[in-house]
Each structure stands twice: as C-alpha cells, then as structure tokens.
Amino acid sequence: MKKQTVSHKVFAIVAGVLVVLAVVLGWTAFSHPSASAQSNGRIKVVFWHEMTGPAQQQLIKFSNEFNRSQKKYEVVPEFEGSYNEAVQKVINTHGTDASPAVFQSMDISTSQMHHTGYTTPVQKFIDADNYDVNKISAGARAFYANQGTQLSMPFNTSQPVLFYNATLLKKLGVTPPPVNPSYSDITRVATQVMQKSNKKVQGMSVEIYGWLFEEFMANSGTSFANNDDGHTSTPTASNLTGTSTVNTMKWLQTNVKDGVFANYGASGNALNNEIASFLSGRLAMFLQSSATTTQLTTGNKNKLGITYYPHPDGQKSNGVAIGGASLWISNDKSATVQRGSWDFIKFLMTAKSQAEWQAATGYLALNKDSQKQPALLNMYKKLPEAKVPGEQLAAAQPNNTNSGIFMQGLIQARNLTQTAMEQIYARSNIQKALQTAQTSLNGNIKNNNRANGY
Amino acid sequence: MQAEVTPAPKPKADQSAAISRQRAKGYNLHAGDKYYAFAFLGPSLLVLGTFVFYPMLRTLYLSLFLTDNVGRPTVFVGLKNYIGLLTSSAYQASLQATAIYVIAVVALTLILGLLLAQLAAKKLAGIQWFRTIFSATMGVSVSVAAIFWLFIFSPSIGLFDQIGSFLHLPIVAWLTQPGPAMTAVVISTVWMNLGFTFLILFGALQMVPQSLYEVSAIEGASESYQFFHVTIPMISPTLFFTSTVTLIGAFKSFGLIDLMTAGGPNNATNLLVYRVYQDAFLSGNYGLASAESVILAVIIALFTLLQFKFLEKRVTY
C-alpha cells in the first residue's frame, strides 16, 4: 500500500512538471521574441491604422517610401479594424510589447486619448524641431489641439459636404444649389427635383448620423457641450435643445414628412445605400464626408457637384468641424522610437505626400503647399469640384464651436443623438426627443467625470 | 487522509443494492487516487479557472464600479449600474426587443424546421436534392447571409422593393422603420438557423420506428393524430435539445444585428448582447457593460432553468 502511494506521488509530480513545461513552452512559442524591436539593424516603428481600400494601399506605399528614404527606422504598418475598436486596442495594449509606436485614432477619441496619459503630444517634437506648423491647415490642427498644445497630428481629414448629381439636375431643369447653400436653398432644389421627376427621383438624404448632427450645430455656431465645447475646461453638461438645433431638426422632420427628403437610416449600410441610389440616379443630393468623393467619381458618367455644408437661413455659416483621424505617438516606447514615429509623421505631412494622399483617397491635403503639386493639379483638371471641400476648410475661421468637441464619451453621445434623429424622422416630438438625449448624455458626462476624477 | 477500504463484493443477489449504496456515498477513493484526480483535473481546472471562472468573477466585480477612460474601476457605486439600467427606458426597450426577437426566432425556427423535416422525410423522387437544399444554410457564414439579406431588404434597389413597386404595392422601408427592421432581422436569423434545426429534426424523424406508424394506422389514426401523438413524443428529446440551443443562440445573436441594423432604428433591434458589445468595445464603458452582461447571464440561466423545469417533463426519453 505504501509503495503504491509513493508511485502515485511520483506520477503526480511528473504530470505536474509536464503541465508546467507545456504551458511554459506554449507561452514562449506564442509570445514575440524580444529581439523583434530590431530587424536588419533598423529600429522598428509599428504603425497602427484603420484604413481600408485605396487609403490602405497608399499608406503601405508611404511606409515603403519612408523606409527607403532613410536607414535608421523601419515603419511597419498594421491594419487594426474599425476606428472604434482601435481605440480600445490601443488602450488595452499600452505598456506591452504589442502596443504601437505611432497610431491613427479617430476625431472623436481625441479627448479620451489625451486623458489616458498614454501619448506624447506632438507639440514636444514641433518645438524641438522648430517645425513650421503654420503650413498645416489651421482648422484641422485646432481639432487636435488643447489650450495651445498640439496633441496629435491631423492626418486623414475630411469635410462634410453636399453632393449633387449635376447632370441629373440639368436634365430636369433644376438650378443647382449655390456653393454655400442655406437650408431653404436645399429644400427648393429637393422639392423641384421631386416635382419635375414625378417622384421618380428622391430629392435629398441626410443620413441619421451623429457626426452630421454635430456639424449642423457647428455650422450654426452652437456649442454641443458647455465650457466652449470643452476647449476651455472639461464639459459638465450638454446643450442639445437650443433654438438653432430645434430649427434644424424641424427642417429635417418637415422635409422627411413631406417626402422631399428620403430616410436611409443609420450605420454603414445607410451610406452604402445612399451611394448606390445616387450612382443609379434615384437620389439627387446627399450630405456626406468628402472622403467619399473618389467612390462617387469612379465609374460615374454623370457630373458630380459639390457644395459647402448647408447653414441655417438668416445667418452666415460658422464653418464646420473636420472629420477623420489624427496620428498619435505612444509614450511607452523609447525616445528613439518616438523620434522615428515623429520622422514618419513629418514624412506623411510633406506637400508631396499630402497631395498624393488626396489624389488617391479623397481625404484633404493639409499642407498648404500641396495645392501646387502635380498630383493635385491633375486631379483638379479632371474634377474642378474636388477643390470645394478644401476651400470650405480654408474658409472657416477656427473657433470654439467649429473645432470639434473636446469631450470624452463621444461615441455614446453619438448613439444618443442618432436615436434622437431616428425618433425625429419618425415624427416624434422634436423637443422631447432632444431632451431625452440630453438628459441621458448629461448622466453619462457626470458618471464619466466622476470615474475619471475630474 | 484515511483510505476507505471497499468491502469485498457481495453475492449477486445483493449487487444492485451495493451499487446504489456506493452511488449514494460517492465513489471510494484510494489514498493515491486523489493525486491522480488532481493530475488529470489540473490542466482543465487551470484553463477553466483562467478563462471562465476568473472572467466571471471579474465581470461581477466590475459591474459594481464606474470605470475610467482606460477601463480601470475607480468609483464604487454598488448596485447603481443595475438600477440605472433597469430604470432606463432605452434598456427596457432592449429587454422588450430581445423578448420579441427570442420568442419569434425560437418559435419560427422550430415550426419551420419541423415542417421542412416532415416534408423531406417523405419518400419522393428527387427528395435527396431538397434535403441538401434545406440544410444548405448551415454552410453559409453570417457575413455572407447579411450581405444577401441586405440586398433583399435594401431601399430603392432591394429585391423586395423592386418586386413591390412592380406590383404597385406600398414600399416598405425595411431597415429604417422599427417594426419592419425587427421583422427583417427575425426572418434572416430564422433562415440562418433553419439548416441546423432541419438536419437535427430530420435525423430524429428517421429514428422513429416505422412500426409505430403502421400500428397506429391500423388503429385508424389520422395523419395529424399520428403527428401529435406518435411523432412529437418520439422526437421530444431532440425538440427539447433544439429549442434550448436555439433559445440560447437567439439570446446571443450578434453578427446579423451588427451587419444589418447595428441596433437601429431607434434601438428597435438593439438586443441585450449587442448593447453589451456597444458599451464595452465601442464606448469602453466596462462597468456598465459588465452589469449588462450579468443581467443577460441571469436571464439566460433563468430561461434555461424554466425550460428544463416545465418542458423536460413532457419529454419522453
């Protein structure tokens, strides 16, 4: 009996050792070898981005060009899925070997990214290099700056604009909207399109999209949140029930009710359906990001028209905020790697790179010298309207209501404003829908500030 | 620990009593057996502990906190996350939407699956071909199905609306109105589920002895009487299995919702599990998302328990 017990113990110990061994071996096999920081004598700079299609191809091209242009660093671009998911990935990997050295993060994550304390503001490198930041678009910079410090470098930047099918309008005998249209200009065009086409063509579509909601407010000079949209200090409450916001929603609701505006709903499918309808000549106008320009011109025989984002009647347009994403430098990497990240950012911001970027993707060239580059001149020759989004960006004087909302939790906020828009499109009481969104949002802001100790 | 010595086997007549006594006491362990037990259980306990029990406890813990912008629990709020959720109209709407969705999906999947299985069980020429077609959705991935259904439901260029406008029927904005959006999502999910349900039920139907039908036919039972009094009881274990699996699956539906409606319009298809995803992985609000996960887990456990308590009584094994 005793002998048997001993052999049991031996067996158990052997089994235990095997288990531990298997775990350890598995661990080492799957974890990155620590030598990966250096490859062929170059310092590796991992670059996380969320671009697909032509933009991704162009980024890979830029990385290769940068790697050929110098011998010290090697930029490795890695695609990380959607904007929303990337934010969480950056946060969750920070401080580990898996984290990126430089990463792209969407517009509305700016405040959150800054407040994590996981990044080095690019201002540090701008100052160190005496980098002439004035050649980069002021409107784009303002979105990613706080109290005079540039937090990240604006990169893929778009403007919300109005697209119209110029050929179709001409055929129907409808005068196109002016270059800086008011709400009633849009109503006029949309109504005429409906009437003259015997309701065969939908006049206009405004996607149920929190970004467009924010842009309506920006263009009317209304703050979304208090403390100047967070630009002076952390917001403590939101302001969704102002007169101009109510009036904008009234304009949308009336036109949707009258069938002058079509309702394509929310989410990515709405955009795809809008584009499909627009390209097949069933939709005359719609509001979207200027980044869709390439999609709307490729294979489209009809002439594309582009105007500024519409503004409320009886007032000048305040200018809209940009959309898109910016480039951030992680502070969990060595000073050398951070320097490599900054060099790569500088490379991306040259007049030549920015011109090529716009020509390839439809995102705007942010370097003021890009306008003279052959890549852009060629593009304008083919499509003069492509200048409009850039002109809109240049025309706006950055102020506290058109430079984005410097607040955390904007993804949730967009869910709330989108729900309000959905209710309004479905003929709910406007005041009540906005009030509901505002109450929920204020609750979120309060909790968020509490959790973060503001 | 003191080893218990198993008494020597009793004579045959007493054997069943001995077995039941042994069951009642649990199996007797030799002194060394527990080393064996841990050696064999160790790896799976390690894996389960790391990937199941720890996350479960962590979720419970997080649900009592507000989390900051990097997901750390910072402010203890007790049950406030739960109270806030259960009193918010948006969450109540999600609960209601989930109830409608789950009931509709489970009922339709079982009824249609059984119908198809009954049809395919008939011995007709070319029935093999139909059997393959009916189970074909098993091989379709969620993303492909979503694209396919989006094309059908799309406004202005969708198949349904094309047919509708050709027949001068009113155009339905399938995915942009709350009611139709739910209908669209339910139709797509049921379609996705049918292949698996069909295959399982068809298999069960094949196992029902033909003699039972022959006997009942001689007794003069009609086909519908046979269906309810022979077929259903005979396949009841399989029906129970499919209903439980479909129920849990319906509670966890994610892919089609994400790709087709993203929870909209007006939260009409924002099911509980999708809300968890939104709050955790899009908003990074882990405290709230954890509370939502716990509520969802409790609901699923409750339903499964009820199912076992009431439905299982009617199952004849």
- H or E segment to which residue A104 belongs: strand A102-106
pLDDT computed for residue A2 by the predictor:
47
- Fold that domain B83-314 belongs to in CATH: MetI-like fold (1.10.3720)
pLDDT in tens, A91-110: 999 999 999 999 999 999 99
Dist CA B102 CA B248 (whole Å): 9
Sign of the dihedral defined by the CA atoms of residues B135, B136, B139, B140, in that order: negative
Give the A window 282-311 contacts with B, CB below 8 Å: 282-283
Joined tokens for residue A26: 């598995």
Best B70, B153, B175, B285 member to test A by mutation, with max A CBs in 10 Å, is B70
- Mean pLDDT, range B50-70, rounded to an integer: 92
Q: Yes or no: say if B109 and B249 are a contact pair by the CB < 8 Å rule.
A: no
Return the residue of A nearest to B265 by Cα. A422
Chain B residues touching A448 at Cβ < 8 A: 69
Alpha carbon A406 to chain centroid, angstroms: 14
ipTM of the complex, rounded to two decimals: 0.79
Largest alpha-carbon pair distance within chain A? 103
Dist CA B70 CA A94 (whole Å): 10
Q: Yes or no: say if B71 and B215 are a contact pair by the CB < 8 Å rule.
A: no
- Mean pLDDT, range B60-74, rounded to an integer: 91
Q: How confident is the model at residue B6 (pLDDT cuts 50, 70, 90)?
A: very low
Joined tokens for residue A228: 């100047």
Q: Yes or no: say if A410 and B69 are a contact pair by the CB < 8 Å rule.
A: no
Q: Between A445 and A12, whose confidence is greater?
A: A445
> Domain boundaries in chain B?
1-46, 83-314
Dist CA A198 CA A192 (whole Å): 10
Chain B residues touching A4 at Cβ < 8 A: 32
Domains of chain A: 39-158+323-385 (3.40.190.10), 160-321+409-451 (3.40.190.10)
Dist CA B36 CA A172 (whole Å): 85
DSSP assigned state of A398: P
Q: Do B175 and A16 touch (CB under 8 A)?
A: no
Full DSSP string of A161-216: EEEEEHHHHHHHT-PPPPSS-BHHHHHHHHHHHHHHTTTSSEEEE--B-HHHHHHH
Q: Yes or no: say if A190 and A246 are a contact pair by the CB < 8 Å rule.
A: no
Give the B window 230-269 contacts with A, CB below 8 Å: 260-262, 264-267
Q: Is A440 on the interface with B (CB under 8 A)?
A: yes
- Mean pLDDT, range A386-394, rounded to an integer: 93
Give the A window 205-224 contacts with B, CB below 8 Å: 208
Burial (CB count within 10 angstroms: exposed 0-12, middle 13-18, buried 19+), residue B207: exposed
Residue with the two structure tokens 């998911």: A85
Q: Between A429 and B317, whose confidence is greater?
A: A429
pLDDT in tens, A190-200: 999 999 999 88
Q: Yes or no: say if A136 and A322 are a contact pair by the CB < 8 Å rule.
A: no
Exposure class string for A255-271: b at 16+ Cβ within 10 A, else e: bbeeebbbbbbbbebbb
Helix count and strand count (H, E) for chain B: 16, 2
- Nearest by CB to B267, from A12, A419, A450: name it: A419
Dist CA A365 CA A371 (whole Å): 8
pLDDT in tens, A44-67: 999 999 999 889 999 999 999 999
* pLDDT above 90 (res B250): yes
Q: Yes or no: say if A325 and A80 are a contact pair by the CB < 8 Å rule.
A: no
